């Protein structure tokens, strides 16, 4: 007789743990952190100190909506660490923002600032709301009330927000204005990523993509790859992806694949990135872009190519697809595009991964330049911004590369070692105030 499986039967064997499509971002960060901390032989107390955010703030934001109803939104700001200087990190407006995610992103900012050697600690903020469903007036009210709730947290010398998912230059302008009204002076340096006219920096918009290009070329040089013989695939065609694609193409690389939320676009002979940017400017998305074959998101990541730049979102390279990736170099334009569980698969395949905390740090580096310019009240030329960005990204890349060689670890763990070591040594020098 056939044995009918009853859903209530107790399973007599252990189900293998399912491969998750999404990782808990804090756990994912800690998996890498733990490896580096062990290599450095961190003392338990220092380990606990570096793991724990110094401040976690939750505020309620009551807003009278356009229809007259009052709605309450929840806002967060987490300062992970401020031992290297004022904390720095973006502000995210999204419907699924939560404290755990903000905690992980804040810690990432601490490591990112330390890797590129800028005098900032790490922070992140968020408001749980759907900006696509809010009117400009509602968005402005949320931003201003959130800022008013954070007056004791924010400050040019304390904590400096910047744009992230769902926020933009306009939101930064409202934060700057609200803070300035309360302080009774114009405080441009309290946020970065502002419009140029109110103290933004030239080159900020392109900075993350420019940083991606600089470290990609650095890794190519180490592997003896020449731009003219290098094919590149870029996932994500927003700020980071489109600029990265444009700049590596200008350096002579052949961009054969690009993609966005509408799918992948492939041309073995090479795509015209300028035309694709023009297309997106007109049509918002790549869909319908001529001169390329449409492929799926999955196919795009698995294309035969030399360099893959994931520049869309987190958890794109997973234990399921890591084995199928053919690129020699992965340059993480996005934050957290590779799941921690995919790291060993990529390592065994000999793929060089330039980790997010280094690869996309061009943005926060030029944010630092913006803060410096605001504080001095003297604004730099684009040449100066780009030259200094290039120098800082190259220095950071070389430091990560040699640390990884020294410890015989991946570039990711090398980057974490540099960052953790720097923050831990600063802690030792400053000591613990009691």
Residues assigned a catalytic role: 124
Considering only residues 376 to 415 of the shown chain, the ones binding ligand NAD according to CB under 6 A are none
Q: Which is nearer to ligand NAD, 186 or 297 (CB)?
A: 297
What residues contact 82, with CB distance under 8 A and at least 6 apart? 54, 121, 123, 158, 159
Single residue of 179, 237, 266, 369 touching ligand NAD by CB under 6 A: 237
Single residue of 168, 267, 297, 426 touching ligand NAD by CB under 6 A: 297
Q: Closest separation between CB of residue 77 and ligand NAD, Å?
A: 17
Q: Closest separation between CB of residue 334 and ligand NAD, Å?
A: 3
Single residue of 121, 126, 236, 414 touching ligand NAD by CB under 6 A: 236
65 touching ligand NAD, by CB under 6 A: no
Single residue of 23, 159, 177, 260 touching ligand NAD by CB under 6 A: 260
Residues binding ligand NAD: what is the number (CB under 6 A)? 20
Which among 331, 326, 301 has a CA at the least distance from the CA of 316?
Answer: 301
Single residue of 363, 369, 403, 412 touching ligand NAD by CB under 6 A: 363
3-state secondary structure the chain: CCCCCCCCCCCCCCCCCCCCCCCCHHHHHHHHHHHHHHHHCCCHHHHHHHHCCCEEEEEEEEEECCCCCEEEEEEEEEEEECCCCCEEEEEEEECCCCHHHHHHHHHHHHHHHHHCCCCCEEEEEEEECCHHHCCHHHHHHHHHHHHHHCCCCCECCCEEEEECCCCCHHHHHHHHHHHHHHHCCCCHHHCCCCCHHHCCCCCHHHHHHHHHHHHHHHHHHHCCCCHHHCEEEEECCCHHHHHHHHHHHHCCCEEEEEEECCEEEECCCCCCHHHHHHHHHHHCCCCCCCCCEEECHHHHHCCCCCEEEECCCCCCECCCCHHHCCCCEEECCCCCCECHHHHHHHHHCCCEEECHHHHCCHHHHHHHHHHHHHHHCCCCCHHHHHHHHHHHHHHHHHHHHHHHHHHCCCHHHHHHHHHHHHHHHHHHHHCCCC
Instruction: Choose the binding region for ligand NAD from 114-122, 230-238, 288-296, 344-352 (rule: CB under 6 A).
Output: 230-238
160 touching ligand NAD, by CB under 6 A: no
Single residue of 246, 338, 360, 410 touching ligand NAD by CB under 6 A: 360
Single residue of 238, 294, 349, 399 touching ligand NAD by CB under 6 A: 238
Q: Closest separation between CB of residue 119 and ligand NAD, Å?
A: 19
Tell me how far apart the alpha carbons of residues 55 and 77 are, in angstroms, rounded to a whole number: 8
273 touching ligand NAD, by CB under 6 A: no
User: Which residue number places its CB atom closest to ligand NAD?
Assistant: 238
151 touching ligand NAD, by CB under 6 A: no
Single residue of 51, 55, 158, 313 touching ligand NAD by CB under 6 A: 313
Q: Which is nearer to ligand NAD, 216 or 409 (CB)?
A: 216
Instruction: Choose the binding region for ligand NAD from 56-64, 146-154, 309-317, 385-393 (rule: CB under 6 A).
Output: 309-317
Single residue of 223, 261, 298, 376 touching ligand NAD by CB under 6 A: 261
Q: Which is nearer to ligand NAD, 175 or 240 (CB)?
A: 240
Q: Closest separation between CB of residue 260 and ligand NAD, Å?
A: 3
Q: Closest separation between CB of residue 179 and ligand NAD, Å?
A: 22
List interacting residues with ligand NAD (CB under 6 A): 208, 235-241, 259-261, 297, 311-313, 333-335, 360, 363
């Amino acid at each position: 007789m056939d044995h009918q499986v009853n859903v209530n039967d107790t399973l007599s064997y252990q189900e293998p743990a399912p491969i998750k499509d999404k990782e808990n971002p804090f756990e994912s960060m800690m998996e890498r952190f733990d490896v580096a901390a062990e290599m450095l032989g961190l003392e338990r107390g220092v380990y606990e100190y570096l793991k724990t955010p110094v401040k976690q703030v939750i505020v309620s934001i009551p807003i009278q909506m356009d229809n007259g109803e009052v709605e309450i939104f929840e806002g967060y700001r987490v300062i992970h660490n401020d031992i290297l200087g004022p904390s720095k990190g973006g502000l995210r407006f999204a419907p699924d923002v939560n404290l755990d995610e903000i905690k992980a992103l804040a810690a990432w900012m601490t490591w990112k600032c330390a890797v590129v050697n800028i005098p900032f600690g790490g922070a992140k903020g968020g408001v749980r709301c759907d900006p696509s469903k809010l009117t400009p007036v509602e968005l402005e009210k949320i931003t201003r009330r959130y800022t008013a709730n954070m007056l004791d947290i924010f400050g040019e010398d304390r904590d400096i927000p910047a744009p992230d998912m769902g926020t933009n230059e306009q939101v930064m302008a409202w934060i700057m204005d609200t803070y300035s009204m309360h302080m009774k002076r114009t405080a441009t340096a309290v946020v970065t990523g502002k419009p140029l006219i109110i103290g933004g920096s030239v080159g900020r918009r392109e900075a993350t993509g420019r940083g991606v290009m600089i470290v990609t070329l650095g890794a190519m040089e180490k592997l003896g790859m020449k731009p003219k013989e290098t094919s590149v695939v870029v996932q994500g065609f927003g700020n980071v992806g489109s600029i990265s694609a444009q700049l590596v193409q200008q350096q002579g690389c052949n961009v054969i694949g690009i993609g966005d939320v509408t799918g992948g676009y492939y041309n073995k002979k090479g795509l015209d990135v300028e035309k694709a940017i023009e297309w997106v400017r007109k049509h918002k998305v790549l869909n319908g872009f001529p001169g390329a074959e449409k492929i799926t998101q999955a196919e795009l990541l698995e294309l035969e190519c030399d360099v893959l730049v994931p520049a869309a979102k987190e958890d794109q390279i997973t234990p399921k697809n890591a084995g199928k990736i053919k690129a020699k170099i992965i340059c993480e334009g996005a934050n957290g595009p590779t799941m921690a569980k995919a790291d060993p698969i990529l390592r065994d395949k000999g793929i060089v991964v330039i980790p997010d905390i280094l690869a996309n740090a061009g943005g926060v580096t030029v944010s630092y330049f913006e803060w410096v310019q605001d504080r001095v009240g003297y604004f730099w030329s684009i040449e100066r911004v780009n030259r200094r960005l290039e120098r800082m990204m190259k220095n950071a890349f070389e430091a990560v590369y040699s640390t990884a060689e020294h410890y015989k670890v991946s570039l990711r763990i090398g980057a974490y070692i540099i960052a953790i070591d720097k923050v831990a040594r600063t802690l030792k020098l400053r000591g613990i105030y009691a």
